[in-house]
Amino acid sequence: MMNTDRLSPADLDLEAFKALIDTEQPKPVLADRVERGIPVYEAAALADRLEDGPGRAEMLDEWADCLMNGAGAFAIAGATPDGSVIDEASAVLFDLIAAEKAGTGGGGDHFAAAGLNDRLWNSLKKHALAAPESFARYYANPWIAAASEAWLGPRFQMTAQVNLVHPGGQPQTAHRDYHLGFMSQGQAAKFPMHAHLLTAALTLQGAIAHVDIPIEAGPTKLLPHSQKYELGYLAYHEQAFKDVFEERFVQVALNKGDLLWFNPATFHAAGENRTPDVERLVNLFQVSSAFGRPMETVDRSAMLAAIEPVLTKVGLSALEQRALVASTAEGYAFPLNLDTNPPVGGLAPQTDQERLLAELE
């Protein structure tokens, strides 16, 4: 029976937390290898599983199990074999960052000191409006859509935020992420246990490397198996738990175009950029369930107006078109005004995703 009690910091158990993160698990069946406790999948070896069918279902089920019951994170190596797609997007994102710095000084960081990094909030919409063809090639990546669907199911809501960490950039502090990860300990304690368990299923955290990121450049610090600790949204605020994180975190080096995905309940933090010359450019994906509220407001109507004219011009396969539409258009019909938009012939009206995919067939 699920515990529905209210929680208190007095319930925290550091030894129980340590026991969870001491878990050792075998390599997942489809993973190429395990690096520092994090499964790494080779995109080229799994490409034939991207199309709908038993192979895709097996792969997505394994990823979901990894996020829930395994390490709480996994990487997909070689997820963007055409490096020019990343380079083209990087140029757009650098221009957007420069324009915002010139205008407003740029965005801050939630969990790190300001000064040695640049943030570009809502990079999803800004990229779409600034360079639609670049956006289309970039978000047509079927590995982004597959990983998002593995954890959240279909009709997910994509948002993205760029983090550019300059040489000398300091690390973030350990945390869990949105929803309850963006509350104080006292605020989070007001939610019952079942809400703590549910919140992680509403969001998936991801990142795509725009440059090669060796360990010394500070790839994401992760604490495998920490997502299993039920009181983690209270625990990460406590210094004793932060100390365990700093003692035991792991990092996985990424090459340009690699993807990293993790459960938002996995204790994590951006690493320190100790290099003299690596500008660590990463686009962070925060993908929300159709049933949740994304952190950012995204004007998907404006994005569609920019993207639809180029959809058939950029040479995408049907699989890539579906991936692009999933990251761009609204896939869930609710909430809606039932007076002005009643369902016709079904339980819900057609969504923009359904309309667009029908037009592309």
- Decide: residue 215, CB within 10 A, 0-12 exposed, 13-18 middle, 19+ buried: middle
Domain carrying residue 43: 9-329
Strand order in the sheet with 117-120: 33-35, 38-42, 73-77, 259-262, 203-209, 280-288, 157-165, 117-120
Average pLDDT over residues 314-321: 97
CATH code for the domain of 266: 2.60.120.620
Average pLDDT over residues 93-103: 95
Average pLDDT over residues 165-173: 95
User: Does the pLDDT value for residue 110 go beyond 80?
Assistant: no
pLDDT tens string 170-200: 999 999 999 999 999 999 999 999 999 999 9
Is 350 inside any structural domain?
A: no
Is 266 inside any structural domain?
A: yes
Quick one: tokens of 229?
A: 């600790």
Residue 228 pLDDT: 98
By percentage, how much of the chain surpasses pLDDT 90?
A: 89
Beta bridge partners of residue 39, listed in sequence order = 34
Three-state secondary structure call for residue 115: coil
DSSP state, 242? H
User: Does the pLDDT value for residue 206 go beyond 70?
Assistant: yes
Is 16 inside any structural domain?
A: yes
Q: Point out the least confidently predicted range of 99-113, 261-275, 282-296, 340-354.
A: 99-113
Question: Is residue 326 within 8 Å of 320, Cβ to Cβ?
Answer: no
Is 158 inside any structural domain?
A: yes
pLDDT tens string 122-158: 999 999 999 999 999 999 999 999 999 999 999 999 9
Residue 108 pLDDT: 56
Quick one: tokens of 339?
A: 């007076």
Is 353 inside any structural domain?
A: no
Is 22 inside any structural domain?
A: yes
The total number of structural domains in the chain stands at 1
φ, ψ of residue 334 to 5 degrees: the values are -110, 155
Whole-angstrom distance, CA of residue 85 vs CA of residue 101: 25
Is 315 inside any structural domain?
A: yes
User: Does the pLDDT value for residue 352 go beyond 60?
Assistant: yes
Residue 306 CB partners (closer than 8 Å, separation 6+): 128, 129, 132, 135
Average pLDDT over residues 108-115: 55
Residue 262 pLDDT: 99
User: Does the pLDDT value for residue 84 go beyond 80?
Assistant: yes
Quick one: tokens of 64?
A: 């979901």
Q: Angle at Cα 137 formed by Cα 56 and Cα 52, nearest 5°?
A: 15
User: Does the pLDDT value for residue 81 go beyond 80?
Assistant: yes
Residue 24 pLDDT: 87
pLDDT tens string 208-241: 999 999 999 999 999 999 999 999 999 999 999 9
By percentage, how much of the chain surpasses pLDDT 70?
A: 97
Is 93 inside any structural domain?
A: yes
Residue 334 pLDDT: 93
